[in-house]
Amino acid sequence: MKQARPAKKQSPQHPSKKSPAQFLPITSAEARARGWNELDVIFVSGDAYVDHPSFGVPLLARLLEARGLRVGIIPQPDWRSKEPFMALGRPRLFFAVAAGAMDSMVAHYTPARKLRRDDAYTPGNRHGARPNRATIIYTSRLKEAYRDTPVVIGGIEASLRRFAHYDFWEDKVRRSALFDAKADLLIYGMGENPLLELVERLQKGEPFASIRDIRGTACAASAIPETAGEVVELPSYEKVTADKAAYGESFRLLSREQNPGCAKVVIQQHATRYLVCNPPAWPLSGADLDAIYALPFVKAPHPSYKEAIPAYEQIRNSITTHRGCFGGCAFCAITHHQGKTIQSRSEQGVLNELEQLASLPWFRGSVSDLGGPTANMFGLSCGDKEAGDKCRRDSCLFPKICKNLVTDDAASSRLLAKARRVSGVKHVAVSSGVRYDLMERQPRYLRELVSQHVSGLLKVAPEHLTDRVTSVMRKPGHDCFERFRDAFQKESAKAGKRQYIVPYFISGHPGCTLSDMVDLALMLKRWGMRVEQVQDFTPTPGTLSTCIYHTGIDPFTGEKVYVARSDREKGLQKALLLYHVPEERKNCLAALRECGREDAAAELFGGNNRR
């Protein structure tokens, strides 16, 4: 009789699909139900607990769980006292703190510094479930409750505030979030590899205080560290606070140290101490990403919530195909957080997740998004690895597409075609943004997108169309958008569809004047395009646009850049793109008078132009 094979042991990175998904504990009762009297790592998050890979804290928590750790989450604790932070007890290794998927100040305030009344990451869309500067407040409460337990801060708020940075809401330069929070370690970027290495070294018995050399982390030191390689020293916090030229120089120096292949240790003095920032973590491989997204996510909010969470409703039927963006837009933080290197999942890994999504009882056949930060960057890479490891460009696309960039669209167009054939999937949308300058080299992807994955309207974000402004934004200009618009209309006609482009624009961006907005409004009028929403520029921490807003100077060229600072002017810029809205006509006329462009009124408010 043939002997039965022993059951194959499941790797913690590839959990059995037969195991029912189970929420991570958020209360001591839920931890005890698992037989856990003590947790190894406890995450504290400014977001509600949604067990979905699009939410950073649950993803990292699942990753540690897959490595055999006992992990819990304290979501949106009441920060007014220390007791909510003690809900799961003291962790054996450390607390991990994140303000949430957004910087807490961006989540709380409009570009006019007015308080928002909603929060998409909170049940019921309610405002007020997290404090201002959540990273600092959460860490303070944890130190109050457990003074000797290490606290690691991370997420986009800590990541982009790790150096001295301009804070729009206080209109001043603030210290590194690490010093303000009094945390023990800061993890920047996406965090998986730094977090895993930290845990592994702690498990081997290394004291927390001695772990200071992990890639993708920053720590405090009393002296300039001795390292094997060169150290880049930024102007001190005190200097960048007093001198805007020094602030620009600090940004320029730091921007050169973003490539993991050639980045050095970067330090910045704060009074008598130093912020020591190690080089960025290495990008994840496709196999690594496949393993992460195959972890046993429930893909639902924790059952304790009785109200809908808008951010979840938006992404519940979405699939992430890749990370990173090499666009290098001046106003965008994605490159600074996820990196410039595109980290793509395997085609089969994406299709496996699609099959799992299609099997869920609430799925009705429509995938809301198949993409990443920029949808048409899936599968792309630098064609010269040696050159790529030494590259210090902020963008592979601006001012022109790099000769080493592989722009082939075979992988992305093939994935779209296969995704449509997954059993149970009726429609696959691509809701992520696309770079239309890149798509000029991707005719197959454009054809697939237009013929099969656009439901009448395609949202694109040119942000502006006058070349002087798009140059400051590090975006393609007017001619490129026109070529894309024509190609889109041509492909739509071939597919027998009547479809339109919905463009998104930013008002009040550095470099943009009222006259520039008049020119943009006239272009849209002549093309028969109307916008319903205009994003007012918000100077968020860590971006080039914010540096220019604060200093009035491009740190790379040294040239002065016009900056609209008053709420009145920013409001007039926004009104010009809404010229077709009757309530905005008075503001539009005021804007035209102010910049001496009254002659444009007849065209703007006249009859319809061609579509």
Q: Which residues are annotated as a binding site for [4Fe-4S] cluster?
A: 325, 329, 332
In sequence order, which ranges of 403-477 are alpha helices (DSSP H)? 410-420, 436-439, 443-452, 467-473
Q: Measured between alpha carbons, how far is 465 from 503 in angstroms, rounded to an integer? A: 11
How far is Cα of residue 376 from the mean position of the Cα atoms in its chain? Answer: 17
Instruction: Determine if residue 435 is left, alpha or beta; phi over 0 gives left, psi from -120 to 50 gives alpha, anything else beta.
Output: beta
Q: Measured between alpha carbons, how far is 575 from 517 in angstroms, rounded to an integer? A: 9
Contact 541, 161 (CB under 8 A): yes
**Secondary structure class of 556 (helix, strand, coil):** coil
How many helices (H) and strands (E) the chain has is answered by 24, 24
Q: Measured between alpha carbons, how far is 116 from 109 in angstroms, rounded to an integer? A: 5
Q: Measured between alpha carbons, how far is 202 from 182 in angstroms, rounded to an integer? A: 20
**Among candidates 404, 414, 422, 436, which has minimal Cα distance to 367?**
422
Contact 187, 282 (CB under 8 A): no
**Secondary structure class of 45 (helix, strand, coil):** strand
Q: Measured between alpha carbons, how far is 24 from 34 in angstroms, rounded to an integer? A: 10
Q: Measured between alpha carbons, how far is 499 from 480 in angstroms, rounded to an integer? A: 19
Quick check: bond before 303 cis, omega within 30? no
Known binding positions: 325, 329, 332
**Secondary structure class of 568 (helix, strand, coil):** helix
Q: Measured between alpha carbons, how far is 211 from 202 in angstroms, rounded to an integer? A: 9
**Secondary structure class of 171 (helix, strand, coil):** coil
**Secondary structure class of 185 (helix, strand, coil):** strand
Is the alpha carbon torsion for 318, 323, 325, 331 positive or negative?
Answer: positive
Contact 236, 159 (CB under 8 A): no
